[in-house]
Amino acid sequence: MEERKTGFAFLFTVCLIFTFSVLFGGFFSKAESVPGSGSSSDKCFVSIEIEPGDTLWSIAQEYATDEYESIEHYISEVKDINSLTGDNICAGAFLTLPYYEN
């Protein structure tokens, strides 16, 4: 019986996350212009699946663009967007990442 409750809780959590992603996915995918940036860059968002061995630092090195002051600033924004309180991420989970595109 306990296994059944645990399975239900997991399924419920997955469904809740999926529903949230669908409902608010359009909100996160909207582009915005960077004011005063000298070029016409648009801020975009992408969702990625975390691979084994990925860290916030390695992901930031791949996705951070020159619009960010530093890798640390980018990581801070990623943590804010994804409601992360620490630096730990788990393979198989998804992260929403910001980036700028011309």
Residue spans of the domains in the chain: they are 1-28, 31-101
> Given this model, what pLDDT does residue 102 score?
80
What six digits make up the tokens of 93?
């989970």
pLDDT given for residue 41 in this prediction = 80
Report which of 29, 41, 32 is spatially closest to residue 67, judged by C-alpha positions. 41
- What is the enclosing helix (H) or strand (E) of 21? helix 2-29
**Other C-beta atoms lying within 10 Å of the C-beta of residue 40:** 8
pLDDT in tens, the chain (102 residues): 566 666 666 666 654 565 555 455 544 544 444 444 455 688 999 999 999 999 999 999 999 988 999 999 999 999 999 999 999 999 999 999 999 888
CB burial class (10 A; 0-12, 13-18, 19+) of residue 64? buried
Could you tell me which CATH class the domain 31-101 is placed in?
alpha beta
- Using an 8 Å Cβ cutoff, are 75 and 21 in contact? no
Please give the model's pTM, rounded to 2 decimal places.
0.61
pLDDT of 12: 63
